[in-house]
Amino acid sequence: MIDILIKGGIVLTMDDQGSAIPEGYVAVKGECIAALGTGDGKEIRARKIIDARGGLILPGLINGHTHAAMALFRGLADDLPLMEWLTRYIFPAEKKMDADFVHTGTLLACAEMILSGTTTFCDMYLFEDEVAQAADRAGMRCLVGEVLYDFPSPNYGPVEEGLKYTEELIRKWQGHSLVSVAVEPHSLYTCSPSLLAAADDLARRYRVPLILHVAETKAELDEVKGRYGKKPFEHLADLGILGPHVIADHCVHLDDSEIQRIVQYDVKPVHNPESNMKLASGAAPVFKLLKQGVTVGLGTDGCASNNNMDLFSEMDTAAKLGKVEASDPTVLDAFTVLRMATSMGARVLGLSHEVGALEAGKKADVIVVDTRKPHLTPMYNPYSHLVYAARGSDVSHVLINGRLVMEDRKLLSLDLEELLDKAHEKSRAVLSWTS
Ligand SMILES: [Zn+2]
């Protein structure tokens, strides 16, 4: 007896062979995928059947970098220079916010992510224990970490406490079915070499990822060069920090020697094209990284610099910006970009043994995309449609860890109306903090 049978659609497994089943099914038992097959699975007895006729069945999407609670800052201030945006709006608001603010903001982000087919997200922010709790409540998979920097934090105070807070977070959530924890120093321009080294030491001791922003803007490059006389990855390599456990967000400004360091140490970059465009940071040389065999993930970054968490839109942008950057329409093809948001994304976060592809034994993080729509008909190539034509709102069903969290576009794990009211309430506080 199976718990949930999803049948009748085209199954895109996103496994290493890129195999697809033209008309197939996915059978789910408990938290895991029990079987995949051809046909309608008539012989299988299931407690619940999801009819995916005319749809695509694929692994849930993986948002490789975000600051989820910033959903409450969406549209607060746009079209400003980065420093003015940060110092006039974001920093004053972040100084005032508390655990409940982050919890509500994260729930809001989880609702948006589930409704657009994302099943896993990687977060960096303050009050991360609340982020983990909110994700667990929403039924979402996540990799979270408290942001660390040289100055005091509104959550933990001095930075030594931040390292302790992170260690407690790692111990608290160890073995949880949805939540994993990473060590997350913010960046090279906000963290001293000794903080970076201490953070990496903690990450290696617990065998968890080390996540930081690297080479996001030209200004950062100049600052790191001015302070240390080195390029960002050169600085990290000399500190002995680089390795396969390092997840580097953005990686926009890379020359060939920096790309070679990423290759040599098997660093995992996460590409955030919409945020990089909106803040005029530049275009990351993703095609060069991919050509060298680097594993690259895809992220939306926070909602204040995007301004949405829809990975379908992000995939479309990644493919197109990649072509502009390379002056070559053949790079970042649809299949490759979908891999960045699924199987490669899972490898980046160290979760590929559990998610990122539809395979028997893996966790059942599965989405159904309804293609019975004018903008998705006819369909010659499902990968092309997913990247260039589909929207997050075309996702009809979402399963995470075997649990149905959205059915026929209805969110099941959260009370959406109540959540929207609470988010409105929080926005009044934001306005009073920033006026
Ligand atoms: Zn970021």
How close is the Cα of 182 to the center of ligand 1, in Å? 15
Q: So what's the pLDDT on residue 83?
A: 79
How close is the Cα of 220 to the center of ligand 1, in Å? 14
How close is the Cα of 103 to the center of ligand 1, in Å? 18
**Residues bordering ligand 1, an ion, CB closer than 5 Å:** 301
Q: So what's the pLDDT on residue 344?
A: 98
Q: So what's the pLDDT on residue 57?
A: 98
Q: So what's the pLDDT on residue 84?
A: 86
Q: So what's the pLDDT on residue 85?
A: 87
How close is the Cα of 300 to the center of ligand 1, in Å? 9
Q: So what's the pLDDT on residue 210?
A: 98
Question: Nearest Cα to 385, choosing from 366, 371, 395, 365?
Answer: 371
How close is the Cα of 18 to the center of ligand 1, in Å? 30
CA distances from 431 to 77, 81, 93, 411, 426 (A): 11, 20, 9, 29, 9
Q: So what's the pLDDT on residue 388?
A: 98
- Which residues lie closer than 8 Å to 54 by C-beta, 6 or more apart? 8, 9, 370, 371, 372
HEC string for the chain: CEEEEEEEEEEECCCCCCCEEEEEEEEEECCEEEEEEECCCCCCCEEEEEECCCEEEEECEEEEEECHHHHHHCCCCCCCCHHHHHHHHHHHHHHHCCHHHHHHHHHHHHHHHHHCCEEEEEEEECCHHHHHHHHHHHCCEEEEEEEECCCCECCCECHHHHHHHHHHHHHHHCCCCCEEECEEECECCCCCHHHHHHHHHHHHHHCCCEEEEECCCHHHHHHHHHHHCCCHHHHHHHCCCCCCCEEEEECCCCCHHHHHHHHHHCCEEEECHHHHHHCCCCCCCHHHHHHCCCCCEECCCCHHHCCCCCHHHHHHHHHHHHHHHHCCCCCCCHHHHHHHCCHHHHHHCCCCCCCCCCCCCCECCEEEEECCCHHHCCCCCHHHHHHHCCCHHHEEEEEECCEEEEECCEECCCCHHHHHHHHHHHHHHHHHHHC
Q: So what's the pLDDT on residue 87?
A: 87
How close is the Cα of 74 to the center of ligand 1, in Å? 14
How close is the Cα of 407 to the center of ligand 1, in Å? 31
Q: pTM for this one? A: 0.98
Per-residue pLDDT of the chain (435 residues; tens, 9 = 90+): 999 999 999 999 999 899 999 999 999 999 999 999 999 899 999 999 999 998 999 999 999 999 999 999 999 999 998 778 888 998 899 999 999 999 999 999 999 999 999 999 999 999 999 999 999 999 999 999 999 999 999 999 999 999 999 999 999 999 999 999 999 999 999 999 999 999 999 999 999 999 999 999 999 999 999 999 999 999 999 999 999 999 999 999 999 999 999 999 999 999 999 999 999 999 999 999 999 999 999 999 999 999 999 999 999 999 999 999 999 999 999 999 999 999 999 999 999 999 999 999 999 999 999 999 999 999 999 999 999 999 999 999 999 999 999 999 999 999 999 999 999 999 999 999 988
Q: So what's the pLDDT on residue 435?
A: 83
